[in-house]
Structure 1
Amino acid sequence: MADDRDLIAALDIGSSKVSALICEKDDEGNLRVLGTGQRESRGVKRGAIVDMDLSEVAVREAVDLAERMSGVTIDDVWASFAAGGLTSDLVEVDVELGGHPVEQGDIERLLAAGREATDREDQVTLHAHPALYTIDGVQGVKNPLGLHADRLGVDIHVIAADEAPLKNVDFAIRSAHLGVGAIIAAPAASAHACLSEDERDLGVALVELGADITNVSLHAGGMLVGLHTIPIGARDVSEDIAMAFGVPRRDAERMKCYYGSAMQSPRDNAEMIDALVGEGQEPVRITRAQLVNVIRQRIEEISGLVDGALKDMGFSGPVGRQVVITGGGADLKNMADYMQGVLGRNVRVGRPKGLPGLPEAMQGPGFSTLVGLARLAARDRSDVRDLALGALEEQRKGGLLARLVRVLRQGS
């Protein structure tokens, strides 16, 4: 950063909006918002950049607004990545010890053995989070140093992304004359903004209802342990409204936000809505029931796909009781109640935990990823390296192994 203060900048490049946040971290580790910026996202479809020039302009303008408000200039940002192609799995690595006490060299050898296991063909590793150690099949060991064992193991949770769309995000940011401090999987960032520590530890499902993509992630033991991407989002609801009533997209979005709901009401048949079908034309009057019926069809599809994703990932039983929905789509009226009925689980709307100075307009679920990025960046850099492996060139230089070794050393 160009300022002497401890400044943190977050950038969320979404399908509907590009938003930026600049915060200052005090000596006690607390964050205070200095400036924010937002621009309509252009050149992004289903979470992936499809027009580099338009995306670069949106990034530059959003960051410029945040800089003007804060009165500071930033050099690099922590950015999100939410496109399809995100994968999540657990890598099990172990080494033979022959019964001698565990030494630091054994831990380094363990991670060396896991280097190839964490590589992904045609993908880039975004996060590699070492979980607890395993000693001779006994799991949950926090500190194995000094313990006698025949085999030492560790589970490494890996989140990877397709290389090409990740490169496009990296390039769009650098084209706006900004450095890339880290690129974070959006579900990992959002979890740090709207889930409690108990939820993340005991087990919870997070459903991010974005504009073009719905990401379903499972969190347990304090980390993301499962991930599924659905290429449908809240903007598809607006598109359905536009096509059903012949209204412009902007008016369809307005109708959804002001009059829409995920559940029917007995009063809906009597409430009339003016649908502006075109410039200079007389508005067409429809009932709210007609609008809700169109919305429900798409919401039913999304909810069914979310339910299927949760079942495929084994989200059931005692650890499958709580679901949190976030993202801009979670703002739809009665969305949590509707999904609770479909999923048969407790569902609440996840909003980002407030930051001093955060504008009220950014305190909704649509800004969970942005706030989560700032919170991750504010953590001690050595503590967060297991979550954010930085820019692409660092990953190509073998930074993953070195950082995993450092994380496990600290955990020891």
Structure 2
Amino acid sequence: MAQPGDRPAIAALDIGSSKVSAIIARPDDEGRLTVLGTGQRESRGVKRGYITDMAASEHAVREAVELAERMAGQTVDEVWASYGAGGLVSDVANVEAELGGHPVEQADIDQLMSAGKDAIDKNGQVVLHAHPALYTIDRAQGVQQPIGLHANRLGVDIHVIAAEPSPLRNVDTVIRQAHLGVRAIVASPVAAALACLSDEERELGVALVELGAEVTNVSVHYGGMLVGLRSIPLGARDITNDIAAAFAVQRRDAERLKCFYGSAMTSPRDNHEIIEATQIGAEPGAEPMKMTRAQLMMVIRQRVEELTNEIEAALKGLGFTGPVGRQVALTGGGAELKNIADYMQGVLGRSVRVGRPKQIPGLPDAHSGPAFSTLVGLALLAASGRGDIRDIAGPVIRSPQPKGMIGRLIHAMKGDF
């Protein structure tokens, strides 16, 4: 039973290309979470992060949430959901206004926010996140709270993450057809960063690489905010498919080979280690196929090299260079491939670590690895009550009254996005 002062339970749902996972947690009065239940099911009807089969995806969502509900001993009405497919766009728009030297008032900030719509590219996308980052007072930069300061010019950097409306509608529809409300749809890089990056890392500069099953998201964080991102349509499942094709084995056997014997780094003994596998169409009782670990490693390395080159190109395209571009955190299910962080560190010439989600009381060990960073981040975001997230059902389906300056900014942009 809930204790006096406990807040209502929150639910998070991560719809990925390989799995659908759910978590139900209860925050205390200070926002600290305790996990009540978790659920996971194989993802169906999702390709490269996009919903491709509504009925199959709905079934997987329903089962994952029901598992979490049974474990938690209670039902939930709405969820915080993730969106990690390609097409996410990040931009920082700068807006300035003349003040004439008088002290900054709330009305000045409100006017600045409403002017933000003119500084953002109107390209038919939907805003997932929009919040003021840092203010500028005349020539002084990095001002967090300008109210009360005298200024001739007041400026603000507004960080916006947007996405194409149709894929978001599909995610929203799948969840609602599973008889759940959608509290918010959150860009996966935002949730994952909250789960596995420290505040200091995000201030000094860090790149977060989410190596998912079929999509890899590369996001750069600096000054405490996400300042750019790229999506790469490659992931850990491509390695599995390569193994299946190269050795004519079923995908589930290829996944087992990758997990138990695979690595991103080779060693001399790989030539002497023999691995057995059953080929597709083999007769019952037939001798299993034999391969050396070196042969398996050759297939894995080809795809890992391609993926690492794509990541390096994305980092360069995002301007992640110089002293700021030294730290990389690797998360997502693909980060569990043995020695992949060491391999990428050698190729990228940067410090690379595996980013695991923050530990939450009650979180099962099976859900504490990098594959669940986005899910944990969603729960942390929901518990924090941060105001930069808006339910995608707002701009797409209904029009609630805006609240606060961020709400007014998004409301002002709804006619154009």
| Bin for the TM-score computed over the shorter chain | over 0.9
1:89 to 88, 91, 94: 91
Structure 2 counterpart of 1:391: 392
Deviations 1:50-72 (A, max 9, x none): 00000000000000000011100
Conserved in 2, the CA contact under 8 Å of 1:107 and 1:405?
Answer: no
Aligned residues: 402
2:364 to 356, 359, 363: 359
TM-score w.r.t. length of structure 1 = 0.94
Q: 1:399 to 1:311 in 2, by over 3 A?
A: farther
Cα distance in 1 for partners of 2:80, 2:37 equals 15
2:75 to 69, 73, 76: 73
Structure 1 position 345 matched with structure 2 position 350:
yes
Structure 1 position 174 matched with structure 2 position 194:
no
Conserved in 1, the CA contact under 8 Å of 2:114 and 2:408?
Answer: no
Q: 1:184 to 1:405 in 2, by over 3 A?
A: closer
Conserved in 2, the CA contact under 8 Å of 1:99 and 1:150?
Answer: yes
Aligned-residue offset at 1:216: 0.3
Structure 1 position 211 matched with structure 2 position 216:
no
Structure 1 counterpart of 2:188: 186
Aligned-residue offset at 1:400: 6.5
Structure 2 counterpart of 1:36: 38
1:376 to 381, 393, 400: 381
Q: Which amino acid aligns with 1:393?
A: G
Deviations 1:362-411 (A, max 9, x none): 111000000000000010x2xx111x11132256637678451689xxxx
Structure 2 spans left out of the alignment, 5+ residues: 410-417
1:13-412, aligned counterparts within 5 Å? 13-118=15-120, 120-278=122-280, 280=284, 281-379=286-384, 381=385, 384-386=386-388, 388-394=389-395, 397=399, 402-404=404-406
Conserved in 2, the CA contact under 8 Å of 1:214 and 1:230?
Answer: yes
Aligned-residue offset at 1:335: 0.3
Cα distance in 2 for partners of 1:113, 1:144 equals 17
Q: Which amino acid aligns with 1:254?
A: R
Aligned-residue offset at 1:104: 1.6
Q: Secondary structure at the match of 2:132?
A: strand
Q: Secondary structure at the match of 2:154?
A: strand
TM-score w.r.t. length of structure 2 = 0.93
Identity %: 66
Q: Which amino acid aligns with 1:297?
A: Q
Q: Which amino acid aligns with 2:360?
A: L
Aligned-residue offset at 1:318: 1.5
Q: Does 92-101 or 172-181 show the bigger shift?
A: 92-101
Cα distance in 2 for partners of 1:77, 1:354 equals 21
Deviations 1:215-247 (A, max 9, x none): 000111221111010000000000000110000
Aligned-residue offset at 1:118: 3.9
Q: Which amino acid aligns with 1:311?
A: K
Aligned-residue offset at 1:317: 1.4
Q: Secondary structure at the match of 1:78?
A: strand
Cα distance in 2 for partners of 1:97, 1:345 equals 44
Q: Secondary structure at the match of 2:148?
A: coil
Aligned-residue offset at 1:107: 1.0
Aligned-residue offset at 1:357: 1.0
Q: Which amino acid aligns with 2:250?
A: P
Q: 1:399 to 1:162 in 2, by over 3 A?
A: farther
Q: Secondary structure at the match of 2:100?
A: coil
Q: Secondary structure at the match of 1:68?
A: helix
Cα distance in 2 for partners of 1:215, 1:338 equals 18
Q: Which amino acid aligns with 1:392?
A: A
